[in-house]
Amino acid sequence: MPEPTPPAPPAPLKPGPTPTAVAPPIELPAAGPDEVALLVDERPVVVKKGTTVLQAAERLGIAVPHYCYHPGLTVAGNCRMCFVEIEKMPKLQIGCATQATQGMVVRTANPRVKSARESIMEFLLINHPLDCPICDQAGECRLQQYANAYGRGRSRFVEEKIHHDKGVPIGPRVVFDGERCIKCTRCIRFCDEVSKTHELGLFERGGHAIIGTFPGKSLDNAYSGNTVDICPVGALTWRPFRFQARVWFLRNVPSVCTGCARGCNVELAVYDHRIHRITPRRNAAVNGYWMCDLGRQTYERLDDRPRLERPVATGSVVPAPEAVDRAAALLRETATRHGAASVAAMVSARLTLEDLFMARQALKQAGISRVVVPPHESGEDDALLLRRDKTPNARGAELVGFGRPDAVATARLAGDIAAGHVRGLVIVGEDPVGDGLFKADVLSELDALVVIDAWQTETAKAAHVALPATGPYEADGVVVNFQGHAQRLRRGVPAPALAEPSWRWLRELGRRFGLAGSWNTASAVFDQAAAELKPLASLSWRGLGGDGHPIVDTEP
Amino acid sequence: MASEKLLLRNVGRENSHTLDVYTANGGYQALKKALSGMTPEAVLEEVKASGLRGRGGAGFPTGMKWSFLPKMGDKPRYLCVNADESEPGTFKDRLLIERDPHLVLEGIILSSFAIHCHTAFFYIRGEFQKGARIFEQAIAEAYAKGLLGKNILGSGYDLDVLVYRGAGAYICGEETALLESLEGKRGLPRIKPPFPAIVGLYGCPTIINNVETLANVPFIVERGAAWYGGIGRPKNTGPKLFCISGHVKRPGVYEAPLGIPFKELLNEHAGGMLHPDRPLKAAVPGGSSMKVLPAARCDVLLDFDSLAAAGTMLGSAGGMVMDSGTCMVGALLNLAEFYEHESCGQCTPCREGTGWFTKILHRLEAGQGRREDPDLLIDVAKRVEGNTICPFGEAIAWPVQSYVAEFKSEFDDHVTKGACPFGAARKG
């Protein structure tokens, strides 16, 4: 094999483009000390030193096709799809690994570059099974995407393709197809660099090279789903999503994961009124490009227990106004009979800021001052995303004045109920019986138990009045993550017909006690909260946009 | 063979691999000279002035390569000796390692001294078990005699040399794959830049030199650059080991000054063609990964620049000779299978292209070729060439292009006859 030639000493590059006979020279803009100015497809751009040619092109909106490059991973440079032509360099260069330098002249779309990309496409497809009709990646596959621009349309390869195992359970949640794989090694790099779990490697050589797990290992880390997201082809598929829906039928709703206090930005993939998968949406301030496997499965909570579908008062389905009337009456009677201190409330840090804010307004109006927020913790904070606090909005509960989730206060409330000091209780979004915090027979002693929840929980079953709420991903709202980053949840799927966001039930309940105000949307409630709560003062519903915004003056 | 033997001066002697025999025949005099009176910079300058070019394949000037090292910083500098000789038809380094390890070692010590390196790695092909054992012995002898270790020959210069055995991959002869392998990883070539002189082994400045290259250094240091520059041809100086194999009477390794005519190597050193009734058909003077020359163009001088002018390369000087009984489709298939097997699989064009070549060639040789196959081979080769991470792509793309272009009619015959005209001397 010929040895590579070591570099010649770099020739000093003259700033500015080389003038050609026809085109007038394009003036390069001035670059600062840490910057370089270059031309990409005749367009000037100034970028920070160390920026790659591919990134510089992206800055101009010029997409350089690529498979192996991923902004969240180290550069591998193996797919060779991102070839660009750079003046004064005899060979085409890969845009992902070539740093932009002062005066560089880059062409990303001339015939030579196009021809090289066509070569790469042909090479990638000769051993690819072309099983798009049954491939879950179809519709969001980079091979398909680039085949439009760079595909030959007809194969010159007439031989038997190389065969590999298909449908391999490479991990409990991920399935691997060795024939679709293009060996870009994104998945390997993810497990080495991001999850740092090192399960995957490249085995064998040449055309027989194949991704696999090291002996005794399985792709079973808390973040394994990300390998599926970043797989540019259909080689890695997410088991719960396999063969569930064609991606072109999916409506992707930008939202926020409700699985823990991180609040990873996600897309809810909705088809036929169901969420079929949840994938991460980039947010540099919160989750980067990633999310955990648990978060991907949070939508399954919606259906894992029977829903509370209708308002129920003392065992009978009743119209909503009647149910709220009944709830208010019971609470009022209890307070009258046993004193205001005999009525308490439990609200959930899983509720949105709007729910919690309205809970505060309504409970205050009803004279209920004792409010506890039970904690939901498991595991530990890890080095990447996962938080021990499994609620998405503990900071929001603190913001509206309920304090942080508090196990001691929750236990004390349980004790006071058992001792008969607390005779009336409003529970919003919590199932203390199901969670083992309260005994069911303790609740049955209460004079007034009003439950607002999405599910027919053990607690709801014990309630005098149970009001059906929307579940996660069924309503708009704001949550504040553990960093104090306020973000908007967007409704992905419809709730059962009679379910309402908890804040609406609370508004109605509050009105029975004279609460004024006519908030009809979550945004109106949020903006009211922003007007009243100092840390939210600079925020508005619209201003949160897709990426959210940090709240002010709230050190964790 | 008018010229003095230098590189092979000891190989015929009994126990030539021992320190005693080496020193009895003038060994380690260059080291004494350098350590007693020369600065590292002076050694480097001498090597630069000698015009020594790398013997591993690319023929890059060795002194210039060394001078690419950045200024001395906090990081150590390493010398890695590329003893992963794996090119089909190349077996010159093996001879030096097994028969004259101390010549190589003296070259390593001198070169390490020249580049301020205190740890050198000897990366040897895994299959060279005998060579590795002999070289380890030589190192042990050198340590015992104060030629390695702390304060070499009382000069204050320290050097350790470590032997690392490869695990059987051709690609690890590519210098950055070698570094990866040496670091304990899968042997995959790195993306360059950065080049190893800047970011090499364990991220430190590293020089990688071929065994034969380093074996030249003692002569340069001992006798001077001017003397060395007188051997060979301008810009192609020094003695060279030429391997020759294939259809010749005496295949083997021969030493001659750079620039010896190919026909002289073939007829005088290797004893001419094997079968008197089968004349020369083609030769690859440089090694399997270089372009083939048809007999009519074999009147060439064997040096870097002459062969480049002839449209091929000196490479590792692993000359292969094919006579008129050779099926060029079969010969290329043989090569293609090797490169398919050895492609590391990292980058797309090489991983996919090498297998495609083999499949097309198999069909051609089996008489199932299509009219467009020869052109397809060339087209695919052009799409591999220049598009890969390392030069492995060219190592197969060049042979494919040249075999098909130079012997197009033979490829066409396979198609039209529906069979190998040579009776499929080689069945897939």
Does B117 score more than 50 pLDDT?
A: yes
Give pLDDT tens digits for A450-460: 999 999 999 99
Asked if B202 and B135 sit in the same domain, the reply is yes
Is position A20 within any domain? no
Question: Which residues of A fall within a CB distance of 8 Å from B176?
Answer: 4
What is the DSSP pairing of strand B119-124 with strand B160-165? parallel
Is position B196 within any domain? yes
Interface test with A, best of B346, B357, B360 (most A CBs within 10 A): B346
Question: Which residues of B fall within a CB distance of 8 Å from A120?
Answer: 348-349, 387
Q: Do A205 and B315 touch (CB under 8 A)?
A: no
* DSSP structural state of residue B126: T
What pLDDT is attached to residue A495?
95
Q: Do B355 and A94 touch (CB under 8 A)?
A: no
What pLDDT is attached to residue A9?
46
Considering only CB atoms, A1 lies closest to which of B54, B87, B210, namely B87
How buried is B118 (Cβ within 10 angstroms: 0-12 exposed, 13-18 middle, 19+ buried)?
middle
Query: If you write DSSP's letter for every residue of B309-373 in order, what string do you get?
Result: HTTS--TT-EEEEEETT--HHHHHHHHHHHHHHH--S-SHHHHHHHHHHHHHHHHHHTT---TTH
Does B253 score more than 90 pLDDT?
A: yes
Considering only CB atoms, A2 lies closest to which of B191, B289, B347, namely B289
Is position B424 within any domain? no
Is residue A345 within 8 A of residue A363, CB to CB? The reply is yes
* DSSP structural state of residue A195: S
Q: Do A207 and B289 touch (CB under 8 A)?
A: no
Average pLDDT rounded to a whole number, residues A36-63: 97
- Cβ of B195 under 8 Å from any chain A Cβ? yes
Is position A275 within any domain? no
| pLDDT band, residue A13 (cuts 50/70/90) | very low
Asked if B211 and B87 sit in the same domain, the reply is yes
What pLDDT is attached to residue B4?
84
| pLDDT band, residue A548 (cuts 50/70/90) | very high
Is position B2 within any domain? no
| pLDDT band, residue A493 (cuts 50/70/90) | very high
Is position A189 within any domain? no
CATH number, domain of B147, equals: 3.40.50.11540
More confident of the two residues B254 and A23? B254
Is position A111 within any domain? no
Average pLDDT rounded to a whole number, residues A267-281: 96
- Cβ of B184 under 8 Å from any chain A Cβ? no
CATH number, domain of A430, equals: 3.40.50.740
Give the Cα separation of B284 and B264 in Å (integer): 15
Does B380 score more than 60 pLDDT?
A: yes
Does A555 score more than 60 pLDDT?
A: no
Give pLDDT tens digits for B140-195: 999 999 999 999 999 999 999 999 999 989 999 999 999 999 999 999 999 999 99
Give pLDDT tens digits for B306-345: 999 999 999 999 999 999 999 999 999 999 999 999 999 9
What pLDDT is attached to residue B255?
97
What pLDDT is attached to residue A24?
60
Give the Cα separation of B420 and A159 in Å (integer): 19
Asked if B209 and B249 sit in the same domain, the reply is no
Q: Do B170 and A1 touch (CB under 8 A)?
A: yes
Count the Cβ atoms, other than its own, within 10 Å of residue A554: 16
Give pLDDT tens digits for B70-85: 999 999 999 999 999 9
What pLDDT is attached to residue A5?
52
Q: In chain B, whose CA is at the least distance from the CA of A208?
A: B345
What pLDDT is attached to residue A556?
44
What single letter denotes the amino acid at residue A138? Answer: A
Q: Do B348 and A78 touch (CB under 8 A)?
A: yes
- The count of structural domains within chain B is 3
Average pLDDT rounded to a whole number, residues A463-471: 97
Asked if B284 and B373 sit in the same domain, the reply is no
The whole-chain average pLDDT of chain B stands at 95
Domain termination residue (choose one: B179, B201, B229) = B229
Does B104 score more than 90 pLDDT?
A: yes
Query: If you write DSSP's letter for every residue of A223-273 in order, what string do you get?
Result: TTHHHHHH-SSSSEEEGGGTTT--GGG-EEEEEE--SSTT--EEEEEEETT
Q: How many residues does chain A have?
A: 556
| Shortest Cα–Cα distance, B143 to chain A (Å) | 32
Q: In chain A, whose CA is at the least distance from the CA of B380?
A: A119
Please name the residues between 268 and 327 in chain B that touch chain A, using a CB distance below 8 Å: 289-290, 313, 315
Give the Cα separation of B385 and A51 in Å (integer): 27
What pLDDT is attached to residue B427?
44
Give the Cα separation of A3 and B85 in Å (integer): 12
Give the Cα separation of B165 and B202 in Å (integer): 18
Long-range pairs of A383-387 with CB within 8 A, sequence gap ≥ 24? A383/A196, A384/A194, A384/A195, A384/A222, A384/A223, A384/A290, A384/A292, A385/A223, A385/A262, A385/A264, A385/A287, A385/A290, A385/A291, A385/A292, A386/A222, A386/A260, A386/A262, A386/A292, A386/A294, A387/A260, A387/A261, A387/A262, A387/A482
Interface test with B, best of A122, A155, A183, A205 (most B CBs within 10 A): A205
| pLDDT band, residue A84 (cuts 50/70/90) | very high
Contact residues for B404 (Cβ-Cβ < 8 A; gap 6+): B332, B374, B377, B378, B381, B411
Domain termination residue (choose one: B323, B353, B373) = B323
Is position A250 within any domain? no
Q: Do A3 and B391 touch (CB under 8 A)?
A: yes
Is position A143 within any domain? no
- Cβ of A209 under 8 Å from any chain B Cβ? yes
Q: In chain B, whose CA is at the least distance from the CA of A155?
A: B376
- Cβ of A120 under 8 Å from any chain B Cβ? yes
Does B294 score more than 70 pLDDT?
A: yes
Question: Which residues of A fall within a CB distance of 8 Å from B395?
Answer: 1-2
Q: Do A208 and B363 touch (CB under 8 A)?
A: no
Count the Cβ atoms, other than its own, within 10 Å of residue B68: 16
* DSSP structural state of residue B276: T
- Cβ of A204 under 8 Å from any chain B Cβ? yes
Please name the residues between 36 and 55 in chain B that touch chain A, using a CB distance below 8 Å: 54
Is position B14 within any domain? no
Contact residues for A430 (Cβ-Cβ < 8 A; gap 6+): A346, A347, A348, A374, A453, A459
Considering only CB atoms, B387 lies closest to which of A80, A157, A159, namely A80
Average pLDDT rounded to a whole number, residues A67-82: 97
Give the Cα separation of A354 and B260 in Å (integer): 89
Is position B13 within any domain? no
Contact residues for A169 (Cβ-Cβ < 8 A; gap 6+): A175, A176, A239
How buried is A161 (Cβ within 10 angstroms: 0-12 exposed, 13-18 middle, 19+ buried)?
middle
Average pLDDT rounded to a whole number, residues A19-30: 67
Tokens 């043989």 found at = B334
Is position B259 within any domain? yes
| pLDDT band, residue A553 (cuts 50/70/90) | low
Asked if B361 and B306 sit in the same domain, the reply is no
Q: In chain B, whose CA is at the least distance from the CA of A83?
A: B387
Q: Do B391 and A1 touch (CB under 8 A)?
A: yes
- Cβ of B212 under 8 Å from any chain A Cβ? no
Q: Determine what percent of chain A is predicted with pLDDT higher than 90.
A: 89
- Which residue range forms the structural domain that includes residue A346? 312-550
Count of CB contacts below 8 A, A vs B?
A: 139
Asked if B112 and B247 sit in the same domain, the reply is no
Please name the residues between 494 and 533 in chain A that touch chain B, using a CB distance below 8 Å: none
- The count of structural domains within chain A is 1
Scanning B76-234, the segments in alpha helix (DSSP H) are: 92-99, 101-114, 129-144, 175-182, 211-223, 225-229
CA B325, B329, B330, B336 dihedral sign is positive
Domain termination residue (choose one: B323, B338, B361) = B323
Asked if B298 and B246 sit in the same domain, the reply is yes
Query: If you write DSSP's letter for every residue of B67-85 in order, what string do you get?
Result: HTSPPP-SS--EEEEEE--
Nearest to A284 by CA among A67, A96, A542, A483: A483
Question: Which residues of A fall within a CB distance of 8 Å from B343?
Answer: 205-207
Is position B340 within any domain? yes
What pLDDT is attached to residue B284?
95
Does A443 score more than 90 pLDDT?
A: no
What pLDDT is attached to residue A31?
86
Is residue A235 within 8 A of residue A246, CB to CB? The reply is no
How buried is A206 (Cβ within 10 angstroms: 0-12 exposed, 13-18 middle, 19+ buried)?
buried
Give the Cα separation of B176 and A489 in Å (integer): 49
Question: Which residues of B fall within a CB distance of 8 Å from A116?
Answer: 383, 387
Asked if B165 and B296 sit in the same domain, the reply is no
Considering only CB atoms, A204 lies closest to which of B68, B345, B353, namely B345
Measuring CA to CA, how many Å separate A225 from each of A43, A187, A196, A378, B116? 39, 10, 14, 21, 49
- Which residue range forms the structural domain that includes residue B398? 328-417
Q: Do A159 and B351 touch (CB under 8 A)?
A: no
Query: If you write DSSP's letter for every residue of A446-470 in order, what string do you get?
Result: -SEEEEEESB--HHHHT-SEEEEB-
Asked if B162 and B200 sit in the same domain, the reply is yes
Asked if B119 and B193 sit in the same domain, the reply is yes
In a 13 Å sphere around the CA of A156, the CA atoms on its Cβ side amount to: 22
Q: Do A124 and B352 touch (CB under 8 A)?
A: yes
What is the DSSP pairing of strand A343-347 with strand A424-428? parallel
How buried is A515 (Cβ within 10 angstroms: 0-12 exposed, 13-18 middle, 19+ buried)?
middle
Question: Which residues of A fall within a CB distance of 8 Å from B313?
Answer: 2
Interface test with A, best of B291, B343, B352, B359 (most A CBs within 10 A): B352
Does B235 score more than 50 pLDDT?
A: yes
Tokens 């360099």 found at = A89
How many whole angstroms from its chain centre is CA B257?
16
Is position A64 within any domain? no
CATH number, domain of B310, equals: 3.10.20.600
Considering only CB atoms, B391 lies closest to which of A4, A124, A156, namely A4
| pLDDT band, residue B204 (cuts 50/70/90) | very high
Question: Which residues of B fall within a CB distance of 8 Å from A158?
Answer: 370
| Shortest Cα–Cα distance, A259 to chain B (Å) | 38
What pLDDT is attached to residue B119?
98
Is position A278 within any domain? no
Q: Do B355 and A207 touch (CB under 8 A)?
A: yes
| pLDDT band, residue A3 (cuts 50/70/90) | low
Q: Determine what percent of chain B is predicted with pLDDT higher than 70.
A: 98
Is position B357 within any domain? yes
- Cβ of B390 under 8 Å from any chain A Cβ? yes
Asked if B98 and B23 sit in the same domain, the reply is yes
Average pLDDT rounded to a whole number, residues B46-56: 97
Question: Which residues pair with residue A83 across a beta bridge?
Answer: A94
What pLDDT is attached to residue A17?
47
- ipTM entry: 0.94
Count the Cβ atoms, other than its own, within 10 Å of residue A19: 10
Asked if B362 and B264 sit in the same domain, the reply is no
Question: Which residues of B fall within a CB distance of 8 Å from A124?
Answer: 348, 352
Radius of gyration of chain A (CA): 29
Give the Cα separation of B287 and B320 in Å (integer): 7
Does B359 score more than 50 pLDDT?
A: yes
Is residue B401 within 8 A of residue B381, CB to CB? The reply is yes
